[in-house]
Structure 1
Amino acid sequence: MENNNKNDQSSQDDSDSDVDEVEPRLKYIRMKHDLEHILQEDAASCIAVHPKFLCLGTHWGMVHLLDHQGNKIKSKTLQEHSVAVNQLSIDQKGDYIASCSDDGKVYIYGLYNTENNHTLSMGRLIKSIAIDPCYYKTGSGHRFITGDDELVLYEKTFLSRMKSTILCKAEGGVKSIAWSGHFVAWASDIGVRVYDLNAKCSLVLITWSRSGEALPEHYRCNLRWSNDRTLLIAWVDVVRICQIRKRSMQEMVNRDLPEYVVDPISTFQVDFYISGIAPLQNQLVLLGSLKELDEDGKSQRPTLHVVEPRYQDFSTICANYLTLRGYKEYSCNDYHLDFLKDENRYFIVSPKDIVVASLYDADDRIEWLLSHKKFEQALEAVTLNVGKDCKKYTLLNVGRVYLDHLLDCGKYDEAGKLCLKVLGRDKKLWEEEVYKFARVHQLRSISSYLPRGDITLDPMIYEMVLYEYLQMDPDGFLELVKEWSPKLYTVAAVVNGVLEHLIIHSKSQNVLKEALAILYIHDKKYDKALAQYLQLRHKDVFQLIQRYNLYTSIYNMIESLMDLDAERAIQFLLDKDSKISSDIVVQMLKENPHYLYMYLDALDMKDTKDSKGKYHGLLVQLYADYAREKLLPLLRRSDNYPIQQTLDICSERKFYPELVYLLGKIGNMSEALALMTRELNDTESAIAFCQEHDDEELWNDLITYALDKPKAIKFLLQKIGTYVNPRLMIQNIKPDLEIPGLKQALVKMMCDYNLQVSVQEGFKKILSNDYFNLHERLVRSHQKGLFINDDYKCGACDRKIIMREPKDLVVFYCKHSFHQDCLKVKLIKNCVICNSQKDVSPGRK
C-alpha cells in the first residue's frame, strides 16, 4: 500500500516500491490492535462508521464495536447472527445500531438503554437495513427500513406496537438503502429509487440502462448521501450524481406533481469496477478494483481514486494502489468504503484488513514532497503553513535539506540565494552553511547574501570569501572591496594577501592595485593609497584628497596630478579648500613651463587677492611662449611686470603690437609711431595712436612719414580733417607728386573740417543760450515766489532761500544768493563770497 505508515511496510508487497509521482491527497494507516485478532479468526463483511466509534460486521455474524484505532469498546459482541452480517446502520447521535443478515434476523440495539431495542425474525433473507437518522429522538417514531423483495418501513406506534408499511415492491430485491432526512434511496435490479417519506411517494426511478436491463447479480450498487439533498450513486463502472430540489411554483401550477424533483448533476464512466463512493469537498473518493486480472489470473490491488467530476466527464486528482491483505483472492464486492465527513477520513474494508485514509496535513504533504525531491514546492508549503498546521517541519529544516540538495547538484547560485531566505539572522547557521560552500570552492555564490547589517559573521568568513575572489575573480574582488564595510574583515590581513598575489601573478595587476588603494584607505594609509591611484592614473585621487584633507601630502605630486588631468588638477589647486599656496605650485611646476603656464593663466583669470599681479612678470614670458594672443591684453590691464624685460622679450620675438603699446606706455611715442608705420605699415593704427595721445609732434611725424607715399597722403587727407588743420599737410605736399584720388580726398577733408568748425560754433551758441535761458528761468522763479532748490542757500546763514517778498532776496550774477537781512551793508556792489572787484550791481528783488 503506497504512502502507508512506516510500521506497516513489512506487510507490503514488492510492488509497493513503485512510487506514483502524482502528489497524493490521502495518507493511509492500517488499523491494528484488537481488530487484527478479530480478522485473524473471522472476516469482515460490512462496516458502519460514526464519529464516536465504528461497527464491524463479520462473516460469522458478529457485530463488533471498536474505536477508530481498532480497539474493542465492549468485550462482547453486540449481537450475533447465525450467518454473515449484510448491512449495518447507525443513527445520527450514535445511540442505536441496526444490523441485518441472511438468517432473517434484524436487530436494533441501544448502546445506552434498551427501551427501543428490537429483535425481529423476518423469515426471509434481509439484504439491507437503514435506521432513521433521528431514531434517538423521542416522538420520532423510532423508524427503520428493511429491504428484501420489498422495501418495508417499521415504526413504533401507540402502546409501543411496531407498525410495518410496505413502501415498494423491489424487482430482484433491495440491494442497498441510504437514508437522509425524509428522503430514502434504495437500489434494486432495475435501478435506484428516491422516496419522499413525508409525501409518501416515489420521486424518481434511475434505471441502470436505457434498455431496462437489470443490474448483474455479482455487482453491488453503492449509495451515499453527500449532504441532505445530494445523492451519489455508483454501480459497476458508472458514477451518477443527483440533486433533490424543490419545484418552483410555476412548475406546480395545474399539475399533480411531487413537491421535490431529482435532477442529474453529473454522469461519467471509469475504467475500473467501483466498490465504494464518498464525497471529499467538491471531489469524489472512489474505491475500485481493476477489471483486468494479473498474469496468474488473480485480482490486482484495489485502487483509491480522488476525482473531480464534471457534467459528463471527470479529471483524476490522484490515484493510489492499496495492498490489502489477501487482495488477490477478492473481487470488487468484497470491499467496502465508509467515511467521516467532518474529519475527511475514509475507512477501506476488505475481509482481512481495514485501512484508514485521511487527507494529507501540511506535515504529510511536505514529507511526501521532500521524499520525491520536490524541494521548491516543499519550501513553499512550509512557508504558507508555518505556525499553523506544520508541527514536524519548519522553514529551517526543510530549507537546509533543500540547500544540501542544491549543493549536491552543483546549483551553487540557487543555494546562495536560498540561504538568505532560510537562515535568517542565525549567525551560527550562517557560518555552518558557509563552510559547506567553502569545501566546494563556491563562496562566490553566497557572497552577495552574507549578512552585513545588524548581524555579522566572524571576520574570517568574509576574509575567506575575499581570498577566493582574489584567486579566481579579481574583478569581483574589487567590487567586494568597494561594497563591503572594512569592519567586516581584518584589513591588514587582506592587504597582505593582495601583496602576495601581486608578487606571484602578473594578470589583473591594475584591478588589484585599485583594490589595494581602497584597502589602504580603509587602513588609513592615505599616502600609499595616493601612490597607487597616481600609478594607475585613476581620477578618484582628487576625491580622495578632498575627502581626507590630504593637501599637505601632495606637494611632491602636483606635477603627477597635472599629468593625470591638467584641467581638473588646476581647478583642484585653485579651490579655496585646497589651502595650497600658489608659491608652492609655482615652485613644483617650474621645470614644466607648459603646466606652469596653464596654472598661472587660470590663477590670473581667478584673480585672487593674494596673487593678483604677483606672477605677471613670469606670465609675460609664458604667454609669449604658449599664448601670444593673451599677451597684449595682459600688458594693457596690468602694471605688475618689468617693462624692460618685457620690451626685450617682445623685441626679440618681434611682437610689434606689444612693442608699440609698451613704448607708448613709457612715453617713447615717436618710436612707437615709427614701429607702426615702418614695421607694421598700419596707417590707420598710427592715426588712432595719434588721436589717443593728441600730440602735435606725433601728427607732424605722421604727416612727414606720409609725404612721399601717395596712398598714405590720400588716407590721411580723408581721416585727419576733424583732428588737424589741413593746411599743415597740404603745404608740405610736393607739387609734382602724383596722388590718385586727391580731389575726392581734399573734398572729404574740407567737408570734415567745415563740419568740425560748424559743430564747434553750434556748441558755443548752445552753451551761451543755455546759460542765459537758465538764468532767466531762475529770476522768474524768484519773482513768482517759488521754492528754490537746495543749491540756493543764503551765503551768510546757509539756510534755504524761500521767496516771500522781492525785497527779501539779493542775488549776484555769480549765482550766490543772500537774505537781505543777512547782509550788514545794504548797498553792496560785490558778492561777499567771491570778493570780486568787478563792478557788478546786485539784482535786488
Structure 2
Amino acid sequence: MALNLESCDSLPPDEEPKLKYDRMGNDVQNILLKDAVSCICVHTKFICLGTQWGVIHLLDHEGNIVPITQDGKDKELQAHAIAVNKISVDIKGDYIASCSDDGKVLVHGLYTTENTHSLVLGRLVKSVALDPYYFKSGSGRRFLTGDNKLTLYEKTFLNRLRSTVLFECEGNVQAIAWHERFIAWASEVGVRVYDLQARCSLGLIQWEKNTSTSIEDYRCNLLWSAANTLMIGWVDTVRICIIRKRNQIELQTRDVTEYLVDPVYTFQTDYFISGLGPFDDQLVLLGVPKECDSETGKAQRPVLSIADYKDCEFCEVSNDSLNIRGYEEYSCNDYYLDMLIEENRFFIVSPKDIVVASPFDIDERINWLVEHGRYEKAMAVLEEVGGKTSKHSLVVVGVQYLDHLLIEHMYEEAAILCARICKNDKVLWENQVVKFSNVEQLRAISPFVPKNPDYALSPHIYGLILTEYRVIHKDAQGFLKLIQEWNPKLYNIGIIIKEVLEHLLTTEVDKNVYLEALALLYCYQKKYDKALTTYLTLQHKDVFKLITQYKMYNVLHDKILDLMTLDSNKAITLLLEIKIPVEVVEKQLENHDFLLFQYLVAYSKKEPNGKYHGKLVRLYAKFARDKLLPFLKCSDNYPIQEALDVCQSNEFYPEMVFLQGRIGNTREALQIIIEQLHDIRQAIDFCQEHNDKELWTDLISKTVDKPEYVSLLLKRIGNYVDPRMLIQNIKPGCEIKDLKDSLAKMMCDYRLQLSVQEACKVITLRNYFDLHEKLIIGQQRGISVTDDFLCCVCQGRIIIKDLSNASDLKVYNCRHSFHIECLPDGAQCSYCTVCNAVKM
C-alpha cells in the first residue's frame, strides 16, 4: 500500500523524491489490531517485531508471519510479561535476544534449542546485544545486557554462563551497538566505546545538556554504519565518529589505547531524532518536529530527511513529512528506524504502523518523472541504462514527451527530440512527421528528417514538407534551401516541378526564387536545356556552372549575348576555354560595342595574332582611351592610317604624335606637340629621339618667338646641335628668363659635346690603325700546305712526288687550295670560288 506523504515546504513541489513509501501490510495489520509495536530488529532474512504485550513476531520483509520455533508450530514467542525493550539478532540470523522491564533476558534459537538462555535479572533491562558471531561455535556465545551496568555474558567450560561487568554506568544503559571487537553504549552522561579485545574503554563522548531538554527523556540511537564508523543520534544532535588506530609514535611515547574515538562530524537538527542510518554517501534521519501543531496543539507528522554531510556542512536534500497512523499521539521515543543497509531499505516503525521507505526502482522513477512532466530527466535516466527497462523504453517516453511539446507549441524543441528518439526508424519517423503535419509545423521538423537515401522516408513525406513551405508558410527561400540541400532521390521530382509550375501561374510573389528552384529541379531531372533557359531567364550566374559541369557547349552559339550580358568576365573565360570561333562571337556582339571590346581584349591577349587589332583601336578609343596609346605602341597589326583617322576624329593628340612619327611624318608630329599639346619638353624629347637637324630647325623656328621656350631650349640644345642655330634666330630685344644660367648651361653642354666628339675621333683613329696593322700582318703571313691538301675543284692532291706532273698552285687565306689550271681565270682569279659561292 502506497503511503501518502507531504513534501516539506523547503523543497520545490516538483523536486524528485529520493524515496518511495509503502505501508507494510499482510499479517502485520492483524498484529497491530491487537497489539502495539515497542521495538524492531531488521535482518536480511526476516524482521523481528517486539510488542507492548511482550510478544516477539517473526516476519518476512513483506509483513507475512514466519514460524518462530523449530517445529514450525508457533508463530509468535511470548518472551516477556510486558513490553519488549530491545531485540538483537546475530549476523547469520540463527539467534535472537530480547529484554524487557520485567527483568528478563531471553536468548532464543530459531533453528535449535542449544545455546539458548532465559535469564531473570530482577532489574529493568533496557538493552541487549548479541555477539554478531554468536552462531559460531568457539565464539564464546557472548551477549551483553544493559541495566544500571554493562554486563558481558559468555559461555565457559561445561556450558556455564559467566558474567563480567564491563562498566558501572551513570544511570541506565539506554542502547548498545556491537560490531566486531568494538562495543558502543549510551548512558545518561554520553556514549562510551569499548574495545573487547583489549578489555578497555576507548573514551567517553559526552553529550551536551540543555536546560530545555533532558537526554534521559530521549532514546539514544546507535548504529555501526561501517567497520569503524559509529553513527549517533540523540535528542537533536548527530555525531559521526571514526574509530582509528593510533600511529606508532603515539603508542611509543604515551601509555594509551591502541584505538581512539574521533568525532569527525557533529550536526544540529530542527527536530528530535528517532533514528538514523546511511544512505549511500548521505545520511537518513527519522525525527519528530520540536514544536507541536499550532492549531491542534498535538504532535506534528514525523519527518524522514536525507542530508549531505561529508563536506563538514549539514545540508538536507530531501525532507518528507510522513502520514503515520496516530502520529498526533506519539513522541520521539515512540518511533524506530531500522534498515537493510545493503538494499537502502528503511523500516519506519510506530506503535500502530510500519512504513517501508526504499529508493525508486528504475521504472518507478521514470513513472514519477513522466507523471510530473520531467520528460527530459526521464529520458536521461533511460539513456544511462541503455534506453530500455522492463516497463519503459526511450522511444515510448520520448514520444510522450514529443506529444507534450507539441501541445505546448514548442515545435523546435519537439523537432530536436524527434531526431533524438527516431534515429533510423522509418515507421516511427513517419508517424511523428504526421503529427507535425497536423499542426502545420513541418517546417520545424525539416532540418532533422533523414536525408540519407539509405534511411529515407516515403517520398510523399518530403513532398508534404516542401508543400508546406510553399503553400502554408509562403517561405520561398526555405523551399529553395531544401531543394539545394536535399538529395533529389528523397522526393518525386516530377510532382514537385508540376506544383512549382502551377504556383508560378498563380502568383508573381518570389517568382525568381521559385524559378531558381525550378532550374535545380530540371538539373536533377537531367533536363539541362530547360535548366539553362530558366537560369538565363533569371539572369542567374549558376548558368556558367551548369554549362561547364554538363559540357553544354553546343547550345552556346545563340546564347552568347545573353551570357555576356549576365557576366561578361565569366562568359569571356568560357568562350575562350571552349574556343568558340571569334567570328561567331563578333557577329553576336556586333551591336554591343562594349561587350565586343571586352571580348576582343581578352582574345587578343590569348591569341596575339593581331587579326582584330584594327577594330580594337576604334573600341579602345571609345571605351579605354587611357589604354589606347600603350596598345598602339605594342601592336604592329593595325592599319596605321585608320588608327590615325580615329585619333584625328577624336583629337587624341598624343596618339597622333606617335602615329605620325611611326609613318615618318615627324615634322607634322612635332607641329602637333607644339601647337596642340604645347609641351616644349616633349618636343625637345621628340627631336632628341629622332636626331634630325631639320626637326631641330623646325623646333627653333616655331619656338624662338616664345621667351619661356627659348630658356629651356638654351639649356638642352647644346648636346645635340650647334647652339648658334638658336642664338642667331633670337630676335633682338627678346627678354629671356634665366638667360645667364641658360647660356652657361648651353655652353657647358656644347663644350662637353665637342670634347666627347674629339675623344671619339681619337679612339676611332687609333682603332683604325690597330686593325689595319693587324690585317697587313695577317695577309703577309705564310700558309702551311701539307700532303692532306686537295684541290677544291678536281679533288687532286696539291703536293705530289712526281715533279713531271706537278702544276702551279694557288692557296687563299681561307686555306682553300686550287691547281692554277682548275681556276676559271687561271692565275688571274683573285677570289676563292668556294667562299664566293657560299656568299652568293
Deviation at 1:472?
A: 3.6
Deviations 1:769-825 (A, max 9, x none): 325426647988989x9x9xxxx99774999xxxxxxxxxx9988522268999999
Deviation at 1:675?
A: 4.4
| 1:559 alignment partner, one of 558, 561, 583 | 561
Deviation at 1:452?
A: 1.1
Q: Unmatched 5+ residue regions in structure 2? A: 737-742, 796-807, 835-840
CA contact 2:5–2:321 (8 Å) conserved in 1: no
CA distance in 2, matches of 1:690, 1:189: 132
Structure 1 769/43 Cα, relative in aligned 2: closer, same or farther at 3 Å?
Answer: same
Counterpart residue identity of residue 104, structure 1: G
What are the residue-to-residue correspondences of 1:323-722 with 2, within 5 Å?
A: 323-386=323-386, 390-453=389-452, 454-470=454-470, 471-574=473-576, 576=577, 578-607=578-607, 612-623=609-620, 625-626=622-623, 672=665, 675-676=668-669, 711=704
Deviation at 1:751?
A: 10
What SS is found at the alignment partner of 1:817?
Answer: coil
Comparing 677-686 with 100-109, which one deviates more in the overlay?
Answer: 677-686
Match of 1:39 in 2: 32
CA distance in 2, matches of 1:230, 1:746: 121
What SS is found at the alignment partner of 1:79?
Answer: strand
Deviation at 1:156?
A: 0.9
CA distance in 1, matches of 2:328, 2:794: 143
Structure 1 793/283 Cα, relative in aligned 2: closer, same or farther at 3 Å?
Answer: farther
2:52 is equivalent to residue 53 of structure 1: no
Deviation at 1:586?
A: 0.7
CA contact 2:8–2:320 (8 Å) conserved in 1: no
Deviations 1:407-433 (A, max 9, x none): 222222222222232222212222222
CA contact 2:236–2:272 (8 Å) conserved in 1: yes
Deviations 1:619-651 (A, max 9, x none): 454445445676677677767667886777677
CA contact 1:245–1:260 (8 Å) conserved in 2: yes
Structure 1 129/613 Cα, relative in aligned 2: closer, same or farther at 3 Å?
Answer: same
Counterpart residue identity of residue 52, structure 1: K
CA contact 2:4–2:322 (8 Å) conserved in 1: no
CA distance in 1, matches of 2:662, 2:627: 18
Structure 1 285/663 Cα, relative in aligned 2: closer, same or farther at 3 Å?
Answer: closer
CA contact 1:796–1:823 (8 Å) conserved in 2: no
Deviation at 1:83?
A: 2.6
Structure 1 680/296 Cα, relative in aligned 2: closer, same or farther at 3 Å?
Answer: closer
Deviations 1:371-392 (A, max 9, x none): 333333333333233269x544
Counterpart residue identity of residue 475, structure 1: Q
Counterpart residue identity of residue 486, structure 1: P
CA distance in 2, matches of 1:252, 1:245: 13
Counterpart residue identity of residue 519, structure 2: A
Q: With the length of structure 1 as denominator, give the TM-score of the two structures.
A: 0.79
Match of 1:841 in 2: none
Deviation at 1:131?
A: 0.7
CA distance in 1, matches of 2:192, 2:365: 41
Structure 1 45/19 Cα, relative in aligned 2: closer, same or farther at 3 Å?
Answer: farther
Q: Unmatched 5+ residue regions in structure 1? A: 1-7, 800-809, 837-845
CA distance in 2, matches of 1:190, 1:753: 136
What SS is found at the alignment partner of 2:440?
Answer: coil
CA distance in 2, matches of 1:746, 1:280: 118
| 1:79 alignment partner, one of 59, 62, 77 | 77
Deviation at 1:86?
A: 1.9
CA distance in 2, matches of 1:798, 1:351: 154
CA contact 1:722–1:756 (8 Å) conserved in 2: no
Match of 2:101 in 1: 102
Structure 1 777/60 Cα, relative in aligned 2: closer, same or farther at 3 Å?
Answer: farther
Counterpart residue identity of residue 436, structure 1: K
Deviation at 1:160?
A: 0.8
Deviation at 1:831?
A: 7.5
What are the residue-to-residue correspondences of 1:740-779 with 2, within 5 Å?
A: 763=764, 766-767=767-768, 769-773=770-774, 776=777
CA distance in 1, matches of 2:189, 2:125: 18
2:94 is equivalent to residue 92 of structure 1: no
Deviation at 1:85?
A: 2.0
CA contact 1:721–1:749 (8 Å) conserved in 2: yes
Match of 2:315 in 1: 315
Deviation at 1:91?
A: 0.7
CA contact 2:810–2:820 (8 Å) conserved in 1: no
Counterpart residue identity of residue 317, structure 2: I
Q: With the length of structure 2 as denominator, give the TM-score of the two structures.
A: 0.80
CA distance in 2, matches of 1:372, 1:277: 30
Structure 1 591/91 Cα, relative in aligned 2: closer, same or farther at 3 Å?
Answer: same
CA distance in 2, matches of 1:37, 1:26: 26
Deviation at 1:457?
A: 1.7
Structure 1 348/544 Cα, relative in aligned 2: closer, same or farther at 3 Å?
Answer: same
CA contact 1:711–1:739 (8 Å) conserved in 2: no
CA distance in 2, matches of 1:746, 1:314: 112
Deviation at 1:255?
A: 5.0
Counterpart residue identity of residue 383, structure 1: E
| 2:21 alignment partner, one of 11, 15, 28 | 28
Deviation at 1:135?
A: 0.8
Counterpart residue identity of residue 548, structure 2: Q
CA distance in 2, matches of 1:160, 1:280: 41
CA contact 1:103–1:124 (8 Å) conserved in 2: yes
CA contact 2:670–2:686 (8 Å) conserved in 1: no
Counterpart residue identity of residue 23, structure 2: R
RMSD, aligned α-carbons: 4.9
CA distance in 1, matches of 2:748, 2:779: 46
Q: Matched residues, percent identical? A: 46
Deviation at 1:42?
A: 2.8
What SS is found at the alignment partner of 2:455?
Answer: coil
Structure 1 277/782 Cα, relative in aligned 2: closer, same or farther at 3 Å?
Answer: farther
Deviation at 1:591?
A: 1.5
What SS is found at the alignment partner of 2:292?
Answer: coil
CA contact 1:237–1:271 (8 Å) conserved in 2: yes
Match of 1:802 in 2: none
Deviation at 1:348?
A: 1.5
Structure 1 822/435 Cα, relative in aligned 2: closer, same or farther at 3 Å?
Answer: farther
Counterpart residue identity of residue 815, structure 2: S
Deviation at 1:750?
A: 12
